[in-house]
Amino acid sequence: MAGSETIRFGTDGIRGVAGAFPLDPRTVAEIGRAIGQWLQSQPAQGAEHTVLLGRDTRPSGSMLAAALSAGLLQENITVLDAGITTTPAVAYLTRTYSADLGVVISASHNPSEQNGIKVFGADGFKLPDEAEAEIEARIAALIAAPAPEQAPSQFGKLRALAKGFAPQLEQPTDLPDEQYVRYLIKGIDLSALHVVLDCANGAAHQLAPEAFRRAGATVEAINTQADGYSINVQAGSEHVRRDRSALLAALQAHGADLGIAFDGDADRVIGVAPDGMLIDGDHMLGILAVQLKARDQLAGDTVVATEMSNSGLADYLAAHGIALSRTKVGDRYVMERLRERALTLGGEQAGHIIILDGDHGTGDGIYVGLLLASLAAARKRGGEGGLSELAAAVPRYPQVIASAHLKARVDLNAVEGLSEAVEAIHALFEGKGRVNLRFSGTEPNLLRAMVEGGAKNTMQQVVESALRLCHLVAAASGTAQPKIDVVDCVTGAPIQL
């Protein structure tokens, strides 16, 4: 029975197929109740416990937001509904409205049929593991318990926050979108810059073009449909990493200086230069680190990145006197390291970049895109050319990610012959390469095998090594002929097998 399954917060919230357990309306209402019960056990920020709720454009978003709100309201929690907005905007607005929690209904860069529930604390950071564990326990108890016989004596209130912009007003406004855009563009000058924005048919479809125009850029926006079914479909940062042709064509057709792509909830960003160069998270970390250090704003002269980041980034940073601290895959682990060590800059190769500078406290694709664009604008005004030269200075060694779709997850430590295969790969690469095997934190039964060679290794050696590892794990999971997709991490392009 579905209800007997354990519901867990993964690396990026509770995920699944919308309408099916655990994202069916009845279960989501219980998740809302569990969050509400936990919140009632905590001190309130104001006179009442409040949750600020936002969602991306997915067609299931309204249903899930309504179900979650019902559970929260049953536990006497006031819900501030921000409607369609980005994940970073929810983190910002949670602080702005002094809410006790922020909740986002989104599955980020994943397909439209999937969705998820992410929770932020009052400070705009994701909840700590202990808090998530307490909520998980309450979810399990509610699902197992019979329906309550006695109705609650009090219910929360549902308040829909106003939508829209008021750029003509000089005085402060209570429009959430307007507050967020003004926050984003503070100190940003994009005058003389012409950009193309790929909004992934997602949450950034209005916010991003408004912010870039307001900062002074000429903006061409593509993939701005809000029907939800087209979110991330041949659009957005993950698509551009695999195939930048459409964004590049728009860039060249408009004679623009820079292309920028966001994912469905706009916490990721990827750039494309007019010459076709892909500017990914590793490039951005390298470029931003050097810029911040030059202004004495890079705390600890250290950048945080995950095990997936290319070793070329580490070598580039070292040449500039900057250390690279690696974490497990997942932006929450990057954030934890940044906060533990009071550092400024971290992120992932996929374009999730976090800047903790006092004003900003979460991975925000629009803000990082504005920073990237402001650098491009300054270089253009100074006659220095585009960003390709800066990005090309970050060396990249042959690196792939092989994604194997398996029948089931297995304990990687127990797969026969796997450790020996990894040792053989390290020997082949003469100790210069790296191997990282893990199951996806957001997609069921999906194995990720990252293999990186040294400067002397060929792409063929790297691909063959990744496939060998995938087939070993597939055999252990009972998957006879697994579907395996391989992507070149340096170019973002798929590799034909």
pLDDT digits (tens, 9 = 90+) for 218-251: 999 999 999 999 999 999 999 999 899 999 999 9
CATH number for the domain including 109? 3.40.120.10
Same domain as 104, residue 76: yes
pLDDT of residue 169: 63
Residue 351 inside a domain? The answer is: yes
pLDDT at site 455: 86
| Residue 149, pLDDT score | 73
Q: What separation in angstroms does the CA of 265 have from each of 67, 268, 284?
A: 20, 8, 19
Q: In terms of pLDDT, which residue wins out, 421 or 496?
A: 421
Q: Confidence band (pLDDT; 50, 70, 90) for 167?
A: confident
End of a domain among 348, 374, 393? 393
For the cut 80, the answer to whether the pLDDT of residue 36 exceeds it is yes
With 80 as the cut, is the pLDDT of residue 303 above it?
Answer: yes
Over 60: is that where the pLDDT of 3 sits? no
* pLDDT top residue among 198 and 487: 198
Assigned domain for 494 exists: no
Sheet bearing 194-198, strands edge to edge = 218-222, 194-198, 258-262, 269-272, 278-279
Please indicate, yes or no, whether residues 384 and 417 belong to a single structural domain of this protein. no
Query: What's the number of domains the chain is made of?
Result: 4
* Span 91-144, pLDDT tens digits: 999 999 999 999 999 999 999 999 999 999 999 999 999 999 999 999 999 999
Residue 260 included in any domain = yes
Are residues 26 and 132 located together in one domain of the fold? yes
Asked if 295 and 235 sit in the same domain, the reply is: no
Asked whether 209 and 219 are in contact (CB, 8 A), the reply is yes
Distances, alpha carbon 38 to alpha carbons 5, 49, 74, 133, 479, in Å? 21, 11, 13, 11, 41
pLDDT top residue among 490 and 422: 422
Mean of pLDDT values over 397-419: 95
In a domain, 495, yes or no: no
Question: Average pLDDT for residues 12-19, to the nearest whole number?
Answer: 94
Residue ending a domain, among 393, 412, 437, is: 393
Domain region containing 477:
399-488
Does the reported pTM lie above 0.85?
A: yes
**pLDDT for 171:** 65
Residues 142 and 268 in one domain: no
Q: Is the pLDDT of residue 207 over 70?
A: yes
Q: Is residue 481 part of a domain?
A: yes
By annotation, the residues acting in catalysis are: 108
379 shares a domain with 245: yes
205 or 168, which is more confident: 205
Q: Are 260 and 196 in contact (CB under 8 A)?
A: yes
* Least confident window among 253-262, 354-363, 409-418: 354-363
Q: How far is CA 254 from CA 188, 194, 195, 205, 399, in A?
A: 23, 8, 9, 19, 33
Q: What is the mean pLDDT of residues 71-98?
A: 97
Together in a domain, 29 and 124: yes
pLDDT given at position 438? 92
Q: State the Cα–Cα distance between residues 24 and 17, nearest whole angstrom.
A: 9
115: DSSP letter: E
Do 290 and 302 have their domain in common? yes
Contact 293, 320 (CB under 8 A): yes
Judged against a pLDDT cut of 80, whether residue 468 lies above it is answered with: yes
Output the furthest CA–CA distance in the chain (Å, rounded). Answer: 73
Listed residue (349, 354, 311) closest to 332, CA to CA: 354
Do residues 23 and 131 share a domain? Answer: yes
**Are 223 and 172 in contact, with CB atoms under 8 Å apart?**
no
pLDDT value for 1: 36
Amino acid in the structure at residue 396? R
Whether the pLDDT of residue 56 is over 90: the answer is: yes
The pLDDT of residue 176 is above 50:
yes
Q: What are phi and psi of 208, to 5 degrees?
A: -65, -50
* pLDDT for res 461: 95
> Is the residue at 92 inside a domain?
yes
Residue 415 domain flag = yes
- What is the overall mean pLDDT for the chain? 94
For residue 56, how far is the Cα from the chain centroid? 13
Task: Report the CATH number at residue 459.
Answer: 3.30.310.50
Instruction: Give yes or no: residues 300 and 344 share one domain.
Output: yes
Instruction: Report which of 220, 221, 214 is spatially closest to residue 189, judged by C-alpha positions.
Output: 214
Together in a domain, 472 and 429: yes
In a domain, 496, yes or no: no
- Residue at which a domain ends, from 107, 141, 160: 160
Are residues 74 and 147 located together in one domain of the fold?
A: yes
* pLDDT of the residue at 172: 67
Taking alpha carbons only, the member of 266, 295, 302, 260 closest to residue 278 is 260
